[in-house]
Every structure is written in structure tokens, then in C-alpha cells.
Amino acid sequence: MAQQQSISDILDRFANASDEDQTSIAQILRALGDRSFAANLLIAAAAVVSPLSGIPLFSSFCGIAIVIISAQMLMDRDHLWLPDFLMSKKVDTSRLRKASQRIRKPASWMDGVAHVRLACLVRHPSLFCSQVICMLCGLAMPFLEVLPFTSSIMGAIVCMFAFGMLARDGLFTIFGYLGAAVLPVSAFLMLH
């Protein structure tokens, strides 16, 4: 099984992916590693929860990335591939670093409380359900970007699943399932 990783380490690699004014998705992928599906999934989801989600269409691009990453996890690929139109997208490096700083405190807390438990939820066949839910959340993001906070809520759900996979902590997977169960009810209440 893959080595347990901390969000703080992933955030460091994310924030320092480029020394240039702009950072491309390709640079972020190189910094995180194309074999670290869960880390890339976590960063794409955390970006939707961060202030970066205020950039027009940013949530849609992250949603597409979440779908592609989740689908490749489901296919059990050995390395991550993203299409050129995503790899070439760039964001101001200063915005990436600010976003990284804003989520560092909750990330440190999660790193502190996480440990290997309920491991059956982060292994197959249970892992398959988590990956499908992540893919469905990513699929919905481009369509729900016009509804306030829905993309961020789905991003938070994907974060729980991805962190559960990284830390091998099934408790975070349970939080992801709870969020996924509550999301349709919340959406219904927002629309009425």
C-alpha cells in the first residue's frame, strides 16, 4: 500500500511548483508527481474550496480535473494523464500561495488527527465507491458553478475522500459519505 502522506507536505509542493509569476497545471502535476493520484485529487478539490474558486470557470476546470483523475483511479492506471487544455492552464503563483496559506491551518489540524484506522474503507472494494462519488462530484461542478457554494461543498466532499486515501484514514471517508448524503438535501433546500 502507498505510503501515508501529509496535506502540509502536499501544500508545500503545490505552493512551490513554480518560481515564475504564473504556475501551470503541468508544473503542479510535476511537483506532486504523476503517480500520486490522491494528492492530485486533493489539490484539485482543495482549490475549489479555496479563494481561487472566485476565478470565473475555475471550479469548472477543477471539476473536469477531478473527473479525469477519478476515472483514471477507477481504471487503476499507473500514472496520471491530463489533456493539454488543462495542463496549459495557468494561475498567478501569488494566488496559489495565498490559497495554500488559507488552507494550511485546517490541513495541519487534519494531519494531526489522522492516523490509519477503518482501513477497509480505503481499500478495494470500498475504495471504488469513494472514487465514483468523487467523479460524480466533479461532473456536477461545471453545471452547478452558478449556484453559490455548491462547487465548494462538493470540493470539500472530494477533499475528505482524497485525504482518507492519502492518510489511509477511513474516518475521513465516512465524513465524505456523510457529506455526499447531505448534499442532495441541501441542494433541494437551496432551490426551494
The answer as to whether 1 is a domain residue is: no
Q: According to the model, what pLDDT value does residue 186 have?
A: 67
Length of the chain: 192
pTM over cut 0.95: no
The proportion of the chain whose per-residue pLDDT surpasses 90, expressed as a percent, equals 28
Name the nearest CA neighbour of 91 among 9, 28, 159: 28
Q: Please spell the DSSP secondary structure of 70-100, one letter per residue.
A: HHHHHTT-SS----HHHHT-EEEHHHHHHHH
Q: Determine phi and psi for 135, rounding to 5 degrees.
A: -65, -40
Residue 188 predicted with pLDDT over 80: no
The answer as to whether 86 is a domain residue is: yes
The answer as to whether 58 is a domain residue is: yes
Residue 1 predicted with pLDDT over 50: no
123 backbone φψ class: left, alpha, beta (φ>0; ψ -120 to 50): beta
Split into its structural domains, the chain has a count of: 1
The answer as to whether 64 is a domain residue is: yes
The answer as to whether 16 is a domain residue is: yes
42: containing domain: 7-191
The answer as to whether 167 is a domain residue is: yes
The answer as to whether 2 is a domain residue is: no
The answer as to whether 143 is a domain residue is: yes
